[in-house]
């Protein structure tokens, strides 16, 4: 892997504070910036992967609905009302 130089402008006060904070952690500013860059790239990749996964899940759901694999709302409501009632009984100490 070849190294490249990354040059940018920053306020003197921010540079000094960053350098002092890095030194307090026994790191150089360059080391921390590389770490931050790696973390940012990783986070962006994870976000893109999650977005792709989520979009795929939505498409699966849409295809299933288009194929008629639907549950009536009344059935879903009845199921979860029974669950809520069971939870209420448990919270009241009933069996």
pLDDT tens column, 26-38: 999 999 999 999 9
Is position 65 within any domain? yes
Inside any domain, residue 94: no
- Structural domain total, the chain: 1
HEC per residue, 4-39:
CCCCCCCCHHHHHHHHHHHHHCCCCHHHHHHHHHHH
Stated pTM of the model: 0.67
In this prediction, residue 3 has a pLDDT band, given cuts at 50, 70 and 90, of confident
Judge whether 81 lies within some domain. Answer: no
In-domain check, residue 82: no
59 inside domain: yes
Is residue 88 a part of any domain in this protein? no
Q: At what angle do helices 29-66 and 12-24 cross, to 10 degrees?
A: 90
* Full residue range of the structural domain in which residue 22 is found: 12-70
Q: Which residues contact 75 (CB under 8 A, 6 or more apart)?
A: none
Q: Residue 90 falls within a domain, yes or no?
A: no
H/E stretch holding 63: helix 29-66
């Amino acid at each position: 892997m070849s190294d490249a130089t990354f040059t940018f402008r920053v306020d003197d006060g921010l540079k000094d504070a960053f350098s002092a904070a890095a030194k307090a952690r026994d790191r150089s500013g360059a080391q921390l910036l590389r770490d931050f860059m790696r973390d940012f790239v990783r986070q962006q990749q994870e976000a893109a992967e999650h977005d792709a996964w989520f979009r795929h899940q939505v498409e699966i759901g849409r295809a299933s609905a288009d194929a008629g694999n639907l549950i009536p709302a009344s059935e879903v409501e009845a199921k979860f009302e029974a669950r809520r009632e069971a939870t209420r009984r448990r919270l009241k100490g009933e069996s």
